[in-house]
Structure 1
Amino acid sequence: MSSELILGIDLGTTNSAVGAVEFGFPILLADAEGKRITPSAVWFGSSPGPAAEGESTGNIEVGRKALRRRSADPGRVITSVKRLMGRRHGEETEFCVPMERAADGSGGVRVLGRSPEEVSAEILKELKRIAEMRLERPATKAVITVPAYFNDAQRAATKRAGELAGLEVVRILSEPTAAALAYGLDKLAEKSRVAVYDLGGGTFDLSILEMQDGVFQVLATRGDTRLGGDDIDLALARHVAATAGIDFEALPAAARIRLIEEAERVKCALSERESESFRAPFYDGSSSLETLVDRAALEQILRPLIARSLTCCRQALADANASTEDLDAVVLVGGSTRIPAVRQAVATLFGREPDLSQHPDEAVALGATIQAGVLGGSLRKMVLLDVTPLSLGIETFGGLMNVLIPRNTTIPCKAGEMFTNAAAGQASMRVRVLQGEREMARDNWELGNFEVPFDPAPKGQARVGVQFRIDENGILEVLARDVKTGQDTIVEIRNSAVDVDDAAVEQMVGESVDHAFEDMAERIFTEARMKAEELLPAVDQALLAAADLVTPAQRQEIESAATAVRTALADGQPNPLKAAVQRLDQATETLAAALVERAMEEAMLKRL
């Protein structure tokens, strides 16, 4: 069977891995030290100036070599760069090195004079180098994983990092979906529904997937882009410092890093033992810190972090319209799922012992490798159906959110709708692309906006078709077509300014539930108000022009209904206004029909 080489890459916040299908088997590739896991760390040595895009100047080291330099040269070692991917300056307030605003006016962020994509590209170059060393042939294509809750800009930034590393990114794959692919490799003939609980170094995802005869469909996904092992390490380091009377935030960067590194070691040790000594000799050059930390203390620190993950689990179950009894397995992946408290919390919530068959650090990379093998033709065909995590739509007249692609729609997908001009003489239409679950446009996130020109026309006469298309990588393309001229305006939403950190995502979905009644009430009132404002002048004009076409009783009912509409408008109550508009609509049916009949008669007489 002919096939091409496509790498499977897990580009993680803390660690990364690369794999390929060889002789029909997906395998992860080890570096020269025999290790399959590469730390996602990059050290940039001093250089005359910042690198040109896609190039490097000065010395660069990646992985374990970079981490070894962190204590001595913390200001030049970048870790967890994944948290900056696709983000704008100011959205992240804490990072391992100082952040700067990009000088190109894009609003992006730069670290050590480089964009997050350029830093990530160095990690990808190292993974590419490892693969080519082990496979002894060039590698130019890859499948790269991202958290399920990465938005369009973050996915596009990941793809761009791959391109800067000399890789054609043939698919951007959600991490929990990749883990499910790894889990389902030997279960392709069965129908099963599984939840994938993925708690890694920097992000958390919970996805519910259904697998049957090689078809993998994501039913629902929830996540938290600021919840992972890094947050646990930082919380533990702060706790130990506070217990010892040390102001953690006031410490030099190198001292903070030393405490965080020790916190990570203690955290890992407490997964195996009930207590562990926290030792940081001369952490700031002169002072030393040593104290005993027990598992109970760590679990106390973990409690709010685990609670955040369980909230996502409950929300995903609700989105999938499923209960815990409907699941055949709960699969744990991500290094942080080694923590006993995490495993116990998952077991309690789902009412079953979690499936530990997948290697916590390697499952995502293995799944990416399987998908790469399918795309390259070296593995049997499997169909992968992902979903949109949030609804996508545009703003319509009145400030309403008009959803084109609902949340949890299977991708790739496309959807469209026809729109008209809201005012006479209007010469263009501004298309605001929105993402979110609220009824009013102002309460959702704007992904981008653009102007669609057309010939001025009477109200409702200009027609513009808007189509959304999401490709297999989850990247959105918006097409707007002037129906009269056939001219298309096409925008690929790649650099959106959407804040989708953990708090924002949880707030968006939570507020859509908390404000459901008032949101719907406002939508009803707005729609009724727009119809009333259109109907009332038309009724007044019709009564003046054709009073002879209605009986006194009909005229009285129309005027009474119109008064009721004006009163309801002034009161600002949605349901009374909607009812009043419907009454006026019904009251004017006879008049409207008579006007149409008269107009037809007049037209026939003119012909004669």
Structure 2
Amino acid sequence: MRLGIDFGTTRTIVAVADRGNYPVVGFDDPDGDSVDYFPSVAARVGDHIVYGFAALEAARDGAPLVRSFKRALAAGSLHPDASVDLGGRNVRLSALVAGFLTALRDALVTSSTMSDVLSDEEPLEAMVAVPAHAHTAQRLLTLDAFAAAGFSVAGLVNEPSAAAFEYTHRQARTLNARRSRVVVYDLGGGTFDASLVQVTDLVHEVEASVGINRLGGDDFDAALARCAMSVAGDPVLTPDQEAALLEDARAGKETLSPQSRRIPLRVAGKDVSVGVDAFYEAAAPLVRETVDALVPLLGSADATGLEASQVASLYLVGGASELPLVARELRERFGRRVRRSPHAAASTAIGLAIAADPDSGFTLTDRLSRGFGVFRDRDGGATLAFDPLIGRDLRTSVDVDVSVTRRYRAAHNVGVFRFVEHSRLGGAGEPTGDVLPLAPLYFPFDASLRDGRDLSDVSVVRTGDGPLISEEYRVDRSGAIEARITDLDTGFTVVRRLGAGE
């Protein structure tokens, strides 16, 4: 069975590739109703962790609950031992994500609209999505968690790129020779991404992407909660009361329609009413931040930019884009070519199912969306110089790997490779913007140091002509990067999946 799985910050949505159709899977909620998502939550019940609807039920009985744990994957400090606090107990993030995805797989087999055709032995081949600006560690942890949960990962696709498939599947008539591009505006529960995609029939090429790693529906919930606190006189809340208010705000936000005037909420057991206009005033800066982020794609954040870029549509996807304020603000800037997906929350999952279907005919060439390079020692370790290895516009594909190679004679006893990922380069070629340092890689150029010692304690000194060194950096089909450093004179090699740590 081929699936598209959109592991979301607040909800995870699954679509199926079924003979040219791509239906969204329904899951049984505690009331026996079928809903088109599996909640991305976890709760601790004694020494056990439960997920999804079971976690929500446990939380109603007082169990500690953690929401939006996917956001922790985007942290610059992410490493294999990163943990999340769950009711005063640190839980390893990788285990939490793998446990959630295992629960998702179990729910697909036992309590979904697919249960009649699936069994525990059924191989599930999944096309999986990550934010366009997901760094290497986030991609690797996501891949490892899906594998640990029993899924066979067919590929890893950037979320807005997958949504572009759903757009073409439904809106192909809007594309023509004069307007052959679409901007996918993806506002999810935890992140904002946008991609400018060139479409020629079923061939999709991502020309550029922008993103904000920590801006999404959770932030709109927080803005609404602050409004409610103000109405209630800013009382001091316990952690449980804060969590209850945020949940109430999330539910209230999701019921809004263009006709809504007030939002009823509860603050510490007290009923309050927040005016929609007051909420929109508080939330408008968040929407404007996403609009401003579009400028690198279009040249200007208005209808002129769409016209000049030959854009057929600004396509709104992601659960948070369903907030009426979002479409209203964007239409004021971009005019009538703003369209919201009829399945905004499920658009990415549907696009992933299309990508998973070998008979769909859809193809994708994406961009790495972040740069990668290394700080190298100079002058016997006295200074550092930055060497940009891979540009953020590097073309990637779910079908092929891409590699970059460097060769040189070593001039020091030890190579200390201080890798970083970055959103852009400054005027002097230095990494700037969103800079993510990765764990350093130590390579013993001097063969006498290849005895297993801790090279971080060895002083870097200039030694003159050393061995011939090859550096190969491979960007795999998931967008993750692997470094392979080799002494070509002896064959001695060190390999590191960057972001995976050691």
Normalising by the residue count of structure 1, what TM-score does the alignment of the two structures yield?
0.69
* Paired position in structure 1 for 2:328: 344
Q: Which residue of 1 aligns with 2:490?
A: 485
Q: Which residue of 2 aligns with 1:417?
A: 406
Q: Which residue of 2 aligns with 1:157?
A: 141
Distance in 2 separating the partners of 1:345 and 1:131 = 38
**CA distance, structure 2, for counterparts of residue 241 and residue 20 of structure 1:** 42
Q: How many residues align?
A: 452
Q: Kindly state the Cα deviation for residue 441 of structure 1 after the two structures are TM-superposed.
A: 5.8
8 Å CA contact retained: 1:29, 1:134: no
1:331 Cα deviation from its structure 2 partner: 0.6
Maintained 8 Å contact 2:410/2:445: no
Does residue 23 in structure 1 map to residue 13 in structure 2?
no
The 1-side partners of 2:61 and 2:258 are apart by 30
- How far has the Cα of 1:173 moved from its partner? 1.4
2:451 is aligned to none
Equivalent position SS for 1:246: coil
Q: Are positions 1:450 and 2:441 aligned together? A: yes
Partner of 1:294: 275
CA–CA distance in structure 1, aligned partners of residues 316 and 431 of structure 2: 38
Q: 1:352 to 1:415 in 2, by over 3 A?
A: farther
Question: Could you say which residue in structure 2 is the equivalent of 1:303?
Answer: 284
Residue type of the alignment partner of 1:383 = T
Unaligned runs of 5+ in 1: 48-57, 92-101, 498-608
The separation in 2 between residues aligned to 1:228 and 1:15, in whole angstroms, is 13
Which whole-Å CA distance do the structure 1 matches of 2:409 and 2:144 have between them? 36
- Work out the CA distance in 2 between the residues paired with 1:279 and 1:380: 46
Q: Which residue of 1 aligns with 2:34?
A: 34
Question: Residue 416 of structure 2: SS of its match in structure 1?
Answer: strand
CA contact under 8 A between 2:15 and 2:353: conserved in structure 1?
yes
Q: Is the 8 A contact 1:87 1:109 kept in 2?
A: no
1:275 is aligned to 261
Q: Compared with structure 1, are the counterparts of its residues 227 and 289 closer, same or farther at alpha carbon in structure 2 (3 Å cutoff)?
A: same
Contact 2:22/2:354 (8 A) holds in 1? yes
Please state whether the residue corresponding to 2:271 is helix, strand or coil: strand
Per the alignment, in what secondary structure is the counterpart of residue 273 of structure 2?
A: strand
1:109 equivalent to 2:89? Answer no
Q: Could you tell me which amino acid in structure 2 is paired with residue 405 of structure 1?
A: I
Instruction: Provide Cα deviations, 1:116-146, integer angstroms capped at 9, x if missing partner.
Output: 2222223322332343314334133322211
**C-alpha distance in 1, partners of 2:199/2:116?**
33
- Determine which structure has the larger strand proportion and give its number: 2
User: What residue in structure 1 maps to residue 450 of structure 2?
Assistant: none
Do residues 226 (structure 1) and 206 (structure 2) align? no
SS in 2 for 1:262: helix
DSSP 3-state at the match of 1:28:
coil
Structure 2 counterpart of 1:312, from 293, 309, 318 = 293
Which residue among 415, 424, 428 is the counterpart of 1:429?
415
Aligned match of 1:205: 193
Distance in 2 separating the partners of 1:45 and 1:312:
42
Aligned residue in 2 for 1:580:
none
Kindly indicate whether residue 247 of structure 2 is the aligned counterpart of residue 261 of structure 1. Answer: yes
Q: AA paired with 1:17?
A: I
Corresponding position of 1:381: 361
Aligned to 1:552: none
Relative distance call for 1:29 and 1:324 in structure 2 (3 A) is same
Q: SS state of the match for residue 380, structure 1?
A: coil
Give the one of 460, 471, 484 matched to 1:466: 471
CA distance in 2, matches of 1:123, 1:28: 19
CA drift of 1:476 comes to 0.3
- Structure 1 distance, partners of 2:194, 2:251, is 26
User: Partner of 1:394 in structure 2?
Assistant: 374
Quickly say closer, same or farther: Cα 1:295–1:491, change in 2 above 3 A: same
Matches of 2:97 and 2:465 in 1, distance apart? 49
Distance 2:369 2:156 in 1: 15
Q: Which of the residues 88, 102, 109 maps onto 1:125?
A: 102
Q: Aligned match of 2:150 in 166, 175, 181?
A: 166
Q: For the Cα contact (< 8 Å) 1:85–1:117, is it kept in 2?
A: no
What is the aligned partner in structure 2 of residue 583 from structure 1? none
Change beyond 3 A, Cα 1:341–1:140: closer
**Aligned-residue offset at 1:227:** 1.0
Superposition deviation, residue 452 in structure 1: 2.5
RMSD: 2.8
Aligned runs of 1:42-121 on 2, under 5 Å?
42-47=42-47, 58=48, 60-73=49-62, 75=64, 77-85=65-73, 87=75, 108-112=82-86, 113-121=90-98
State the match for 2:393 in structure 1. 408
Contact 2:132 2:211 in 1 (8 A): yes
Deviations 1:59-103 (Å, cap 9, x if unpaired)? x5432342244354252x1211101126477x8xxxxxxxxxx9x
Tell me the residue number matched to 1:605.
none
Contact 1:266 1:276 in 2 (8 A): no
Q: Which amino acid aligns with 1:306?
A: V
| Identity across the alignment (%) | 26
Separation in 2, partners of 1:61, 1:328: 44
Classify 1:490/1:61 alpha carbon distance in 2 versus 1 (closer, same or farther; 3 Å). Answer: closer
The Cα offsets for residues 274-332 of structure 1, whole Å up to 9 and x where unpaired, read as 3124242xx54xxx32233222111111122112211221133359xx93212111110
- SS at 2:233 equivalent: coil
Measure the CA separation in 2 of the matches of 1:130 and 1:26.
Answer: 19
Q: Secondary structure at the match of 1:150?
A: coil
Greater Rg, structure 1 or structure 2?
1
Change (3 A) 1:232 1:23: same
Unaligned runs of 5+ in 2: 110-114, 448-461
**Which letter does structure 1 place at the counterpart of 2:438?**
L
